[in-house]
Amino acid sequence: MKNSIILDQYTFNSLLNTVADSTLILDIEGNILICNEKALQIICNNEFDFVGKSIFHYLKGEPASTVRTKKEIVIDSGTPVSFEDKIDDKIFQFSIYPIFDDSKQVKQLVFIAADITRRKKIEQSESRKTQQLEQILETARNLSSSLEIKEVLTRICHGAKDILNTHGSAIYILDNDGETLIPVVVVDPVYEKEVMATNLNVHRSLTGKAVLEKKCMIFNDTRPDSKGFQIPGTSVLESERLIVAPFILDEQVLGVMTLDRIGLIFTHEDLSLAETFASFATTAFKNAQTYSKLQYEVEERKKAENDLSLHQEHLKLINKILRHDLMNNLAVIKSAIRIYKSMKDVEVLDEATKSVSKSVELIKRMRELENLISSHDGIKLIEIRDVIDNVITNYNYLDFNVQGKCTALVDNAISSVFDNIISNAAIHGKTDKIDIKIKSKEDQCEVRIADYGSGIPDSIKEKIFDERFKYGETGNTGIGLYIVKRAIEHYGGKISVEDNKPNGSVFILKFRNKHDVKKKLTG
C-alpha cells in the first residue's frame, strides 16, 4: 500500500510539472503543500525547503496583500477568483481555486500564477497602434476640414507630437533661397518662442541635413555630429533625440517637420509614423496650392464680371448723354438755322456756334469715358511726373509749378484724370496758375493739384463728383469729374477736394504704389 501511495504522489507531481504556469497547492492558512518546478523558480526562488512555508514568505508588499484578501474570499464563498498584479517588473494573472473535502468545505487551495507580461506588452502595443491609427486617420480627415494651411499644419504638428510621444514638434518651410528653413508652426511647452524666432541653415543643422538628402532621418545621438545647431536660449541636453521628416512635392522639398524628445530613442517604427505625417503636410501644401489657383480663378472671374457690368453701365451712360445732350444741341442748332433763314439775324448763329462747341466738348468727354472703359490694358507702375509733364504741354497759357515724383499703379487712362482736373481749374475756376506736388507716402502716391481760381463752394464739394452735376455758367456736361472719380476708384485710389488759401481749390489724389501681396506662412 505504501508503494502505491508513493506512486500516486509521484504521478501527481509529474502531472503538476506539465502545467506551464506556476502552480501551488496551499492549505487554507496559505502554507505551501506542494508546487511545480515553475513555481519553485518563480515564486519560491528555488528554495527546496518550501513545504510548510507560507506563500506570504515569498510574496511581499501589495501583491501579498491582494492575495491574502482574495484567498479569504475564495474560502468564504467557495468560488474561484482571478486578478492581475505585478511582481517586480513582471505582470501576472493570479487564479485561486477551492478544493473541497467530503463535507463540501474548502480544505485546500490551488494557486496559479501565469506570467502575462509578454501578452500585456503585445496588447499595449496593439492598443497603441490602434490609437495611433485612429489619430492618423483623424489627422488625415482634418486635411480637408480647413483651407487655411497654417491651421492644418498646426493640427499635423499636434498629431505627430501626440502619437510619437515627443517633447516638441515644429514645421519649417524652405525659403526661396534654398538654404533657409523658416519656422511656421511650433508646438513646444518650453521653448516655443525661441524656436519660432530662429531660422535654420540647411548646411549647418541636422534638420538641414535631412532636407539636403531628401529623406527622413533619425538622430538619436546629436552630440558628435558637426552639423548640430543649438537654438539660442534653449538648454543643451545630452540625451536629446531628434527625428526629421521633409515633405516633398514633385521632387522639390517644400519644408520639413522635426520631432524631439528626451531619453527614449526613436525607432524605425517612429520614422515610418513621421514619414506619414510628412506626407500629410505635403498634401496640405498641395491642397493650398490648388485652393489658391481656384481662388485666383474665382477672383478673376468676379473681376471680369464686375468689369463687364461696369462696361455696360458706362455704355448706358454714354448712350443716355449722347441721346439727351446732342439732341438738345441739335434742336438749338436747327432752330437757329430756321430763324436765320427767315429773319437773317446773324446773332442767332452765335447760339448755334455755342451748341456746336458744346457738342464737340461732349464728344471729347465721351471719348475720355470710352478710354476709361476700354483702355485698361493692365494696371502697372507708371511714373506720375512723366504723365503730368506730358499733360501740361496742352496748357501753355497757364503757369505751372510741379514738384516731386513717385510711381503709382494706374493705366494709360490716367492722363484723362489730370487733364480733366487741370481743364476744370482753367475753364471753371478761371485760374492762371497751378501748383502740383507729388510725393510718396508709405504705400501710396499722393498728388496735390492746387489752383488759385474762384474755388468751390462748401455746399457743392460733396456733389462735384456726381454724374451730370453742373454748377455755374461754365457748367457743361457734368461728366468730367465723374470720369475722374470712377477712374481713380478703379485704380484702388481716392480723390477729395479742399480749399486753397487764400483762394482756389486743392484736389488730393491718392494712388496705390504697391501690389497687394497675400501674407506668406511666415507672416
pLDDT bucket at 136, cuts 50 / 70 / 90: low
Q: Contact 248/254 with Cβ under 8 angstroms? A: yes
Q: What is the pLDDT at residue 4?
A: 45
Numbered ranges of CATH 3.30.450.40 in the chain: 126-293
pLDDT of residue 483: 74
Of 325-329, 446-450, 481-485, the one with minimum mean pLDDT is 325-329
Q: What is the DSSP string of 349-392?
A: HHHHHHHHHHHHHHHHHHHHHHHHHH--S--EEEEHHHHHHHHG
Please report the pLDDT score of residue 2 as a whole number: 44
Q: What is the pTM of this model?
A: 0.42
Question: How distant, in Å, are the alpha carbons of 397, 452, 487 from that of 430?
Answer: 12, 8, 25
pLDDT on residue 478? 54
Geometric angle at alpha carbon 404, from 401 and 409, rounded to 5°: 120
What is the C-alpha separation between 469 and 424, in angstroms, rounded? Answer: 13
Using the predicted structure, report yes or no on whether residue 359 has a pLDDT greater than 80.
Answer: no
Average pLDDT of the residues in 481-503: 85
pLDDT tier, 1 (very low <50, low <70, confident <90, very high otherwise): very low
As a whole number of angstroms, the distance between CA 43 and CA 64 comes to 12
The per-residue pLDDT for 243 is: 92
In contact, 91 and 62? CB cutoff 8 Å:
no
pLDDT score at 348: 74
What fold is seen in the domain 377-523? Heat Shock Protein 90 (3.30.565)
438 Cβ contact list (under 8 Å, min separation 6) = 384, 385, 388, 402, 403, 404, 405, 406, 445, 446, 447
pLDDT tens profile 27-63:
999 999 988 888 888 888 888 888 889 999 888 888 8
**pLDDT of 157 over the 80 cut:** yes
Least confident of 246-250, 342-346, 368-372: 368-372
Q: How confident is the model at residue 129 (pLDDT cuts 50, 70, 90)?
A: low
Please check the confidence at residue 385 and state whether its pLDDT lies above 90: yes
Report residue 312 CA to chain centroid gap.
39
* Confidence bin at 521 (pLDDT 50/70/90): very low
Strands 399-403 and 433-441, how do they pair? parallel
Point out the least confidently predicted range of 226-235, 333-342, 344-353, 444-453. 226-235
For every residue of 393-461, DSSP letters joined together read GG-TTSEEEEE---EEEE-TTHHHHHHHHHHHHHHTS--SEEEEEEEEETTEEEEEEEE-SS---GGGT
pLDDT category of residue 141 using cuts at 50, 70 and 90: low
pLDDT digits (tens, 9 = 90+) for 196-206: 888 999 998 89
Which grid coordinates belong to 491? 485704380
Q: In what order do the strands lie in the sheet with 494-499?
A: 399-403, 433-441, 444-451, 505-512, 494-499
The SS3 assignment for 226 reads coil
Q: Which residues of 128-137 are buried (b: 16+ CB within 10 A; e: fewer)?
A: eeeebeebbe
In the chain, which segments carry CATH 3.30.450.20?
2-115
Q: Is residue 16 scored above 50 in pLDDT?
A: yes
**How much is the pLDDT for 142?**
61
* CATH class in words for 2-115: alpha beta
Res. 236: pLDDT tops 90 = no
Tell me how far apart the alpha carbons of residues 238 and 259 are, in angstroms, rounded to a whole number.
Answer: 16
Range list for CATH 3.30.565.10 in the chain: 377-523
Mean pLDDT across the chain, nearest whole number?
80
The residues that bridge with 111 in the sheet, in sequence order, are: 24, 96
Local confidence band at 404 (pLDDT 50, 70, 90 cut-offs): very high
Q: Is the dihedral of CA 121, 124, 128, 130 positive or negative?
A: positive
Selected from 3.30.230.70, 3.30.450.40, 3.50.50.60, 1.20.1060.10, the CATH number assigned to the domain covering 126-293 reads: 3.30.450.40
Residue ranges with strand state E in 5-140:
22-27, 32-35, 81-87, 90-100, 106-115
> Nearest CA to 401 among 445, 449, 436?
436
State the pLDDT at residue 273: 85
- Percentage of the chain lying above the pLDDT 90 cut: 23
Q: Residue 318: pLDDT above 70?
A: no
Q: Per residue in 95-108, pLDDT tens?
A: 999 999 888 899 99
Q: Which of 116, 115, 117, 75 is nearest to 96 (CA)?
A: 75
C-beta separation of 404 from 477 below 8 A: no
The conformation of residue 57, written as its DSSP 8-state character, comes to G
Position 28 scores a pLDDT of: 92
* Across 24-33, 199-208, 291-300, 353-362, least confident range: 291-300
